């Protein structure tokens, strides 16, 4: 497995947000992380990304355990996160955004030609056809194009795991379809993708497996092809469904 989380727990003061969460994601697959508000999705992502330190448990990348103490540590392991706000600068162009904070230099000046070429090659490798001018400002792009730039920026740096936080939340139907196709292409190119979404139609359209969090605990991880939306909804809302889900210490569902 590319990423293995084992018994991850995290509390903020007296509030336990994550409790012994297990999850594994392999290269070449899309794993959707679903759960109601307050289930712990964002906290789990921030633990993987090095924003929050875990209280207990282990995070392993390709079998080796790592302490991820900062986003820099996560990036060094090939983990990149695209947050819902995208963290793009409207006044900068596509190339400048993709290399923001990681600019290439030629001597003491920016190597604009090299950056533009690498940006174009990355978008080409992802079969992106919706962005034709790499020098247009992000402010002039549609929501779907902005999401595409953010995802391309994440995969530019030899990433192995891309985490996408609600990438289609503010998009229309056509733009959503484009982003979902791009997510599928990431997996087809051998990347592991952790996809967080409230939209189960989108989840079932793109995910190989679905992991359902309930009040900080992992209710179940299911193959998308072998489950239904109603079953996932039950896991999200009650933590159990048809014999699956959270049990007590005696193996009995509450």
Query: How far is residue 106 CA from its own chain's centroid?
Result: 33
Specify the length of the chain in residues. 254
**What pLDDT, on a 0 to 100 scale, did the predictor assign at position 247?**
66
Q: Which domains does the chain have, with CATH numbers?
A: 3-89+160-245 (3.40.50.300)
pLDDT exceeds 80 at position 253: no
**What pLDDT, on a 0 to 100 scale, did the predictor assign at position 246?**
80
What gap in Å lies between CA 107 and CA 165, rounded to an integer? Answer: 37
Strands (E), 99-197: 105-106, 109-110, 161-165, 192-196
- Which residues is 92 bridged to in the sheet? none
Are 62 and 27 a contacting pair, CB within 8 Å?
no
Q: 30-34 and 209-214: which strand pairing?
A: parallel
- DSSP per residue, 163-188: EEESTTTT--HHHHHHHHHHHHHHHH
Q: Name the residue among 173, 170, 167, 135 with its Cα closest to residue 150.
A: 167
Task: List pLDDT tens digits, range 210-223.
Answer: 999 999 999 999 99
Mean pLDDT of the chain: 92
Task: List pLDDT tens digits, range 44-69.
Answer: 999 999 999 999 999 999 999 999 99
Task: List pLDDT tens digits, range 179-207.
Answer: 999 999 999 999 999 999 999 999 999 99
Are 161 and 192 a contacting pair, CB within 8 Å?
yes
What gap in Å lies between CA 162 and CA 160, rounded to an integer? Answer: 7
Task: List pLDDT tens digits, range 118-177.
Answer: 999 999 988 888 898 999 999 999 989 999 999 999 888 879 999 999 988 878 888 889
What are the Cα distances from residue 195, in Å, to 172, 198, 253? 18, 10, 28
Tell me the Cα Rg of the chain. Answer: 19
**What pLDDT, on a 0 to 100 scale, did the predictor assign at position 251?**
45
**What pLDDT, on a 0 to 100 scale, did the predictor assign at position 248?**
52
The C-alpha angle with vertex 50 and arms to 66 and 61, in degrees rounded to 5, equals 30
Q: 161-165 and 109-110: which strand pairing?
A: unpaired
């Amino acid at each position: 497995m590319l990423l293995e989380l084992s018994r991850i727990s995290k509390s903020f003061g007296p509030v336990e947000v994550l409790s012994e969460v297990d999850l594994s994601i392999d290269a070449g697959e899309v794993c959707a992380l679903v759960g109601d508000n307050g289930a712990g999705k964002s906290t789990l992502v921030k633990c993987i990304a090095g924003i929050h330190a875990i209280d207990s448990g282990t995070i392993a990348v390709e079998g080796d355990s790592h302490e991820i103490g900062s986003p820099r540590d996560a990036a060094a392991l090939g983990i990149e996160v695209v947050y819902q706000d995208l963290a793009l600068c409207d006044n900068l162009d596509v190339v400048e955004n993709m290399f923001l904070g990681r600019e290439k230099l030629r001597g003491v000046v920016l190597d604009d030609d090299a950056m533009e070429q690498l940006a174009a090659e990355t978008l080409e490798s992802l079969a992106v056809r919706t962005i034709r001018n790499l020098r247009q400002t992000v402010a002039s792009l549609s929501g779907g194009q902005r999401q595409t730039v953010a995802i391309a920026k994440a995969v530019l740096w030899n990433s192995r795991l891309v985490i996408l936080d609600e990438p289609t939340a503010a998009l229309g139907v056509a733009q959503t379809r484009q982003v979902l196709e791009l997510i599928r292409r990431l997996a087809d190119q051998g990347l592991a993708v952790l996809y967080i979404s409230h939209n189960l139609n989108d989840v079932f359209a793109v995910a190989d497996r679905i992991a359902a969090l309930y009040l900080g605990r992992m209710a179940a991880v299911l193959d998308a092809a072998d489950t239904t939306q109603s079953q996932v909804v039950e896991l999200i809302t009650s933590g159990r469904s048809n014999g699956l889900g959270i049990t007590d210490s005696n193996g009995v569902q509450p």
